[in-house]
Amino acid sequence: VLEPSTIREDAKKVVEEFGDLVATHDRLVDTRAQVEHLSPLPDLSQTLRQAEQALQRLRLEKEHLGIYFGEVLAQLWSVQVEALAQ
């Protein structure tokens, strides 16, 4: 007596499991790519913060350039006045 064969069903299950493995592998590849692309972000964030701080310092210096040049010119004129007075 021949028993009914389950080879076809077993093959179907193997194909389905292989499809699941392929899908899982694809997700892992995507995740690895995301990690590779996102891993520089903390360093870039730190660099951006430093650049923003430097820019703020430069803006502050720019705002006070008039005062600085005024003081330098006042000193220069004081030296000139002293030289003329002698």
Q: Is the pTM of this model over 0.85?
A: no
**What φ, ψ does residue 23 adopt, rounded to 5°?**
-65, -40
Q: How high is the pLDDT of residue 2?
A: 59
Q: Say whether pLDDT at 3 is over 90.
A: no
Average pLDDT, the chain: 94
Taking only the tens place, the pLDDT of each residue in 6-45 is 888 889 999 999 999 999 999 999 999 999 999 999 999 9
- Alpha carbons 62 and 27: distance in angstroms, whole number: 51
